[in-house]
Amino acid sequence: MRNQPIKGERGTVELNDNRIALYISQKGKCSVTGKPLRDNEWHCHHKTLWSRTRDDSYSNLTLVLKEVHQLIHANRILTIQRLLTKLNLDENQLEKVNQLRILAERKAIKI
């Protein structure tokens, strides 16, 4: 993670430092599924949209699996269905996804 910082406009020192702190506090696991975060299979998600706030604070970030991140932001029904099938989330995990979707200005997923 330290050897692969986020670069460019979005790659602030604050964001990169907070990614490391989150990885440690989340014990290297996805905040939604609890599964280990491996190599390039995870993303740092801004709970409140970065495009609106430019907020890279620790409290506005969480680490999630790549597919969970895609599900948080997905709009297309087929994409949502494909990701739900792949992730096989339980009720509590889906509730966490829906909380993050609402913060990301997306509708909750109803099953």
Q: What confidence score (pLDDT) does residue 2 get?
A: 47
The residue behind tokens 């995990």 is 93
Domain boundaries, the chain: 13-103
The average pLDDT across 35-63 equals: 92
Q: Strand 42-46 to strand 61-65: parallel, antiparallel, or no bridges (unpaired)?
A: antiparallel
Does residue 6 register a pLDDT over 60? no
The residue behind tokens 């907020």 is 55
Does residue 70 register a pLDDT over 70? yes
The average pLDDT across 47-61 equals: 92
For residue 80, CA distances in Å to 62, 84, 108 come to 20, 6, 11
Q: What is the CA radius of gyration of the chain?
A: 14
Quick one: 99 exposed, middle or buried, by C-beta within 10 A (0-12, 13-18, 19+)? middle
**C-alpha 56: how far from chain center:** 13
For residue 86, CA distances in Å to 40, 67, 101, 109 come to 18, 8, 18, 15
